[in-house]
Structure 1
């Protein structure tokens, strides 16, 4: 059994972000292959989000300490809780390292004896610097687009119209405020051929509810309900031409950007910030722009519109990249491979070496 430990005390929400899609998709694909896997939640009982994922096995534990009793492979998602496990445990680092001191100690201590997995080469380097460990000890298992995105038929746009979608969470780090600024840049603000849509993903959180109201009041953007399944999100993307990802780079760096590959599999062009792991998502249809720059985003949208829709052949080529099968193959290789030496072991060995008495002056080394 492979158990993915979701953030304790938090339900697994549907349709709100990459770490959720990644976790559920991995579990779904593992079970599809006959490999037992489950999502493990803590402290919520059956009210842990499982109702939105009826095809995915869930298990709820009363306390975090109960993780110690799980047999098989334990994979922590995002949060490096220092709880003992029966076998060496893994940690998938979906988020960038914390910037505030009160979280830095938690992140450092909790990763000391875990086998670390990053979601991009960028994220591996970022965490390597943060933890002061060899980047080779952090394995990379890329996110993926579910098969629905490549299979979904495209919806033709009205003549002369370009449909633009913001499909990220309604939170500042996803660049929603940059998009709002862009709507008023003269490069696009008087162009009636451009239509903008955002979903309510993330509106279950306080800041998301505020942002949803801002969008609802804006005459230049439509708001549609969040999509809680890959099939529904694929259908929404296939009804749009360009997906924008103006991720904030001031205090947040997107470690990968699963929305970008989902959009390209669905036949969209993507305009994304040239920051973090987003450049790694390029399947042939990404336009990179300066982050936190409304003018740059506006011109990026212009560039994407000017390129026209990807051809059927280009979409097929994009859909062969970052597949769930490839991602799970890589994960299984990591789980089956030799374990890298965790940072805690390296530190302990260095401390032991430092305790070895120095040779007396003139003492010869043994032959």
Structure 2
């Protein structure tokens, strides 16, 4: 395959459009939402009108007919300004709508996708549990079939987009049976918001991503029709391994955006801030920091675009997705730390975007597979089973 990851004219037009939206609409407003820990409904609605939630889906389901590369481009440009808005889009598409599109029946697709693609509703993905994070196979939530219904009991935690006023559904993984040797059969089931017994907790108090929605969910004898099974019974774990592989590309694009945003803000500051009678950017120590930050963001961009290109062309991409996610999240943390250092005391003030970026960066080494999990996946793809 070609390693030329320069954008097509169509993708470049999308990039410019989202860049303009991020700077003109998101940047002036998001700081206030962030400080109030408030979900930015008006910004999300505008993203829906732009078609961002439908980027990688076919037009027949209300999508824009694009691809995963287009989604990554949008995520990177948004995250250059703010990660709360970017993760709302990432989770809404990669974790909310993509499972329905990839594994749903035709009826499920037509019922849910048009509204998710338009941003009218958000979908969420309920995998993580209080005692089951990286070990997704340790799921304790259960779903027992009683007649024509599934009865769900359990708890999920750290679920993005699960408690907003426009959340329409949460797809949850649950144990629906056991194999002959006692291993759990994990299935995926769609639970519409407002279903009796489905309780959404108050938002978490978080270090970062403060303008995004993250909640704990509980299910107490929640009953949904058997038709809400997503894909084959017992295949939920395999389904979401695939979804997480794809999602790592999206997180890598988001992390790249944050890393580049740190460069943008630090370069601007280094040209404007004066010390000892001259701009601090005249100092070689600052120049070298910025050069290293730019190098890392550039390489991160190549990594996620390579993985996305492989996905789009139907090639194997598991290792490349893990490589991209591992590298990009590390770079995001590194650049956020250096950006704060370049800004000095101002970098510790929330009025400066780098303060948000510093707070938002760390979760990128944890969510959708920790850095340790990425190293495990990479080693396995290299033939080291362990």
TM-score normalized by the length of structure 2:
0.27
Q: Which has the larger radius of gyration?
A: 1
More helix by share: 2
TM-score normalized by the length of structure 1:
0.28
